[in-house]
């Protein structure tokens, strides 16, 4: 049996519900860490299957693992807050019950903390149930600035760790339709916390259509244009999706993003992955060339006798959506101008 340190350096918080035997691979990935000075708090959100039995078996052979049974909340924020209240480590890391870590994950986190970090995110690989890699992190995705944090849902929980008091200082985890991680990271950033990022892809995330991240309800929108005639709105929507505008949009994206990153990079708040010495412009150009729509999830929404062409947003609150709109209108000037140009062309 592994000894249980009285004051582990890092506490790992793992909320779970009805994961059954499959949770053992997650637990084993923590037990396999090259750094052994940790505790693992598995908070069962009222599981009704044999998940807790599998956790108890692991805890019987490794005293660093603790099972905490909670009443059913139906949302991981509650169990994470329970874990925060019982954590003893100087640092806290999160691990979802269907994700895993490579053996150097905790070592990478602690190295960043030892260098002075308050909030750390690592690289990742997404894998499906057959272990096929479906996506992975890249350098630009690991650059950080408060504006990047505002604009996009960066850093899944299984990639993140922080000094223990930070989350509680901003009110802890909050429940909602989803994106509770983005909500917490944004509140931390607003309170002055800054991310340090680690390039190594040590977090292995499950890519499965059944996971919560694929079921998030998007209640907020970014308005792009307003029309009096629904036919005009639908014509512009169709035009924006047409391949004839793709090259122009990619050029506009490249110009807007380059200017934005150059401005952020001139500030003390801008972060690149630890040890990376590459060229930002090259990374931005590579992302601009990747396939896929630059304005996904466009919709036409009626309201007060008019019709709004809008992009669905992932953000959790209306206030957050307003902040996104303000920032987009400041940093995506060429892309928005191109939308206006295409809309005007549909009228003629």
pLDDT digits (tens, 9 = 90+) for 142-188: 999 999 999 988 999 999 999 999 999 999 999 877 789 999 999 99
CA atoms 185, 187, 190, 193: torsion sign? negative
Compute the distance between CA of residue 100 and CA of residue 108 in angstroms, rounded to an integer: 15
Q: Could you read off the pLDDT of 202-226 as tens digits, one per residue?
A: 999 999 876 655 566 778 999 999 9
Rounded to an integer, the average pLDDT of 185-198 is 96
- Candidates 82, 69, 273, 71; CA nearest to 167 is 82
Instruction: Specify the range with the lowest mean pLDDT, choosing from 58-62, 159-163, 228-232.
Output: 228-232
At residue 348, the pLDDT reads: 64
Residue 310, pLDDT > 50, answer yes
Contact 302, 126 (CB under 8 A): no
Architecture of domain 10-213: Alpha-Beta Complex (3.90)
How is the chain split into domains, by residue range?
10-213, 220-347
Residue 23, pLDDT > 90, answer yes
At residue 210, the pLDDT reads: 66
Residues above pLDDT 70, as percent of the chain? 96
296 or 256, greater pLDDT: 256
At residue 304, the pLDDT reads: 81
């Amino acid at each position: 049996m592994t000894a249980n340190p009285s004051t582990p350096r890092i506490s790992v918080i793992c909320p779970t519900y009805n994961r059954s035997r499959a949770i053992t691979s997650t637990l084993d990935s923590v037990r396999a860490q090259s750094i052994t000075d940790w505790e693992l708090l598995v908070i069962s959100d009222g599981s009704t299957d044999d998940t807790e039995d599998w956790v108890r078996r692991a805890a019987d052979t490794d005293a660093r693992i603790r099972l905490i049974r909670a009443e059913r909340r139906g949302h991981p924020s509650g169990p994470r807050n329970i874990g925060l209240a019982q954590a003893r480590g100087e640092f806290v890391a999160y691990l979802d019950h269907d994700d895993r870590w490579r053996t150097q994950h905790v070592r990478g986190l602690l190295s960043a903390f030892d260098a002075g970090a308050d909030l750390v995110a690592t690289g990742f690989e997404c894998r499906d149930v057959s272990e096929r890699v479906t996506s992975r992190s890249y350098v630009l995705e690991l650059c950080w600035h408060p504006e990047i944090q505002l604009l996009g849902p960066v850093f899944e929980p299984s990639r993140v760790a922080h000094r223990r008091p930070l989350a509680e200082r901003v009110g802890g985890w909050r429940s909602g339709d989803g994106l509770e991680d983005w909500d917490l990271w944004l509140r931390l950033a607003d309170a002055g916390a800054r991310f340090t990022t680690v390039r190594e892809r040590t977090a292995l995330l499950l890519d499965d259509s059944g996971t919560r991240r694929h079921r998030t309800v998007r209640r907020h929108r970014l308005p792009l244009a307003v029309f009096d005639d629904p036919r005009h709105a639908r014509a512009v929507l169709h035009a924006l999706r047409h391949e004839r505008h793709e090259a122009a949009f990619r050029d506009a994206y490249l110009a807007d993003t380059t200017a934005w990153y150059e401005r952020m990079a001139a500030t003390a708040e801008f972060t690149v992955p630890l040890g990376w010495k590459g060229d930002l412009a090259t990374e931005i150009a590579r992302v601009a060339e990747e396939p896929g729509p630059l304005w996904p999830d466009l919709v036409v929404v009626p309201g007060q006798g008019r019709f709004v062409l809008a992009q669905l947003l992932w953000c959790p609150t209306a206030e957050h959506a307003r902040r996104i709109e303000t920032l987009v209108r400041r940093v995506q000037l060429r892309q928005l101008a191109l939308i206006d140009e295409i809309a005007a062309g549909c009228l003629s």
